Structure 1
Amino acid sequence: MIETSPFPVDVVLPCLDEAEALPWVLERIPTGWRAIVVDNGSTDGSPDIARDLGAHVVHEPRRGFGAACHAGLAAATADIVCFCDCDASLDPGLLPAVVDPVLDGTADLVLGRRRPTIRGVWPLHARLANLELSRLVRRRTGLSLHDLGPMRAASREALLALGLTDRRSGYPLQMVVRAADAGWRVAETEVPYRPRTGRSKVTGTWRGTWQAVHDMRAVLAERPDGTPAIGTSVAGGTR
């Protein structure tokens, strides 16, 4: 007998010290969907807050954005899985617009293209890095994407079949690259990008941004069969 999930969509929320943002984020999860908060070593009580607010909490001791995302994917049971940042910069209430093309069969992976709501919400160094990565992705895969943002949706089983291995900042990019190599239809839909709550762990500084770019360049160096090119490696580590 095949077990079915009681939830139509699972929303994976990687979390590292997001106690301040969690109430707003979790109250915006669409009715009937499940929030999976993946705690990645918080020290501010985030797991307890998430649990008290009704989220399913997963603990991922290995530090890294990709490690947290993949732990959430592994814990998911719904047919469709979404990913969204847990810092209130993106509104989970808008996820149905990201999910709809997957549900109606017009896309296999949908990315939320971020549109800043106010000036300065997206730091210059982060925007420049995103533009450069979009250009490299276009050259590597042929996909004309404008943003490699964290809000996205796809089939759970199809995502697992991609065999994603990056456990750092390259995880979102590896998902796109391997999806393209597998012939997936990848689409974008615009989503507002708000001021985040709290301090950014990745793109809030030049150092964090360029560490992310370094991780993503390793992903772009992969061969289409998923093996790293000579002289490159995909390692774990901190975000």
Structure 2
Amino acid sequence: MPQITVIIPAYNEALSIGKVVAGIPRELVQQVIVVDNNSTDSTGQVATQAGATVVWEPRQGYGQACLTGIAHALNQVPPPDIILFMDGDFSDYPEEIPLVLHPLLTQGYDLVIGSRALGQREPGSMTIPQIFGNWLATTLLRSLYNARFTDLGPFRAISTQALCQLNMQDRTYGWTVEMQLKAAQQNIRYTEVPVTYRKRIGVSKISGTVKGVVLAGYKILWTIGKHYRRK
């Protein structure tokens, strides 16, 4: 049985993180790592009580939190064979983890994206700027990298070998698109599966503010362009 670790970057998700951790199928997952990304609420305490390993990361940024979680996971004995990422706001369905893992476990894929675009979305779970931004980014990935994605969703699983090969660097909003464009560049076997998506608990730090939407959109487009120029 492959060793599977779930990494959840979390910033002020005390209202939701316990539900996320409790919903993860532990018959498949050996370890749940919650990276408390400098929260000012009780996110870490709630996650610990729910059974997660909590790692503190004071340097804020989605990518930074993911990198810290990866470093912690790789220091375990044995290290995981597969790492799955999901958000801590309860918008993803933890019970769908087996759906995301299935292509890695049975079909030889190295990267699986849980696509909200292909699945069912609760009305209002994604804002119009989010929907448009996903469409624009995936269209650019297809045009510039011949990468066939429909979403930049955070719910994703990747083999540890492929993840190390990608040499992830982004520490902020460009994390998800960096992984996908590098996978296309390096001919890593990837696919998507439909996932269900609901309204998050609490207010989004990105889509919940105009500043967050603008900064995230700019960083995603900048990341796509930066790697294309290198290509």
**TM-score for both structures, normalised by structure 1:** 0.87
Cα displacement (A) at 1:106: 3.2
Cα displacement (A) at 1:216: 1.3
RMSD: 1.8
Counterpart residue number, 2:48: 51
Q: What secondary structure does 1:193 align onto? A: coil
Runs (5+) with no aligned partner, structure 2: 74-78
| Preserved CA contact (<8 Å) 1:88 1:197 | yes
Counterpart residue number, 2:35: 38
Cα displacement (A) at 1:228: 5.5
Aligned residue identity for 1:106: G
Counterpart residue number, 1:194: 198
Runs (5+) with no aligned partner, structure 1: 1-5, 230-239
Cα 1:199–1:20 change in 2 (3 A) is same
| Number of residues of Structure 1 aligned to a counterpart in Structure 2 | 222
- Matched residues in 2 for 1:52 and 1:181: separation? 41
Q: What secondary structure does 1:58 align onto? A: strand
Aligned residue identity for 1:60: E
Counterpart residue number, 1:27: 22
Cα displacement (A) at 1:218: 2.1
Cα displacement (A) at 1:105: 3.8
Q: What secondary structure does 1:66 align onto? A: helix
| Preserved CA contact (<8 Å) 1:9 1:79 | yes
- Matched residues in 1 for 2:6 and 2:15: separation? 19
| Preserved CA contact (<8 Å) 2:147 2:181 | no
Aligned residue identity for 1:87: D
Q: Does 1:180 align with 2:184?
A: yes
Cα displacement (A) at 1:171: 0.5
- Matched residues in 1 for 2:230 and 2:212: separation? 23
Q: What secondary structure does 1:11 align onto? A: strand
Identify which range, 60-69 or 206-215, moves more after superposition. Answer: 206-215
Aligned residue identity for 2:83: V
- Matched residues in 1 for 2:97 and 2:3: separation? 13
- Matched residues in 2 for 1:186 and 1:140: separation? 17
- Matched residues in 2 for 1:118 and 1:178: separation? 30
Cα 1:7–1:108 change in 2 (3 A) is closer
String of CA shifts for 1:182-205, please: whole Å, max 9, x gaps.
Answer: 101221101111110011011223
- Matched residues in 2 for 1:7 and 1:51: separation? 24
- Matched residues in 2 for 1:128 and 1:223: separation? 22
String of CA shifts for 1:94-139, please: whole Å, max 9, x gaps.
Answer: 1111111112243211000113443222111111111111111111
- Matched residues in 2 for 1:63 and 1:204: separation? 17
String of CA shifts for 1:125-168, please: whole Å, max 9, x gaps.
Answer: 11111111111111121122111100000111320221111100
- Matched residues in 2 for 1:187 and 1:210: separation? 28
Q: What secondary structure does 2:64 align onto? A: helix
Q: Does 1:164 align with 2:163?
A: no
Q: What secondary structure does 1:12 align onto? A: strand
Tell me which stretches of 4 or more aligned residues in structure 1 moved more than 6 Å.
Answer: none
Counterpart residue number, 2:125: 121
Percent sequence identity over matched residues?
36
- Matched residues in 1 for 2:187 and 2:121: separation? 33
Counterpart residue number, 1:11: 6
Counterpart residue number, 1:111: 113
Q: What secondary structure does 2:140 align onto? A: helix
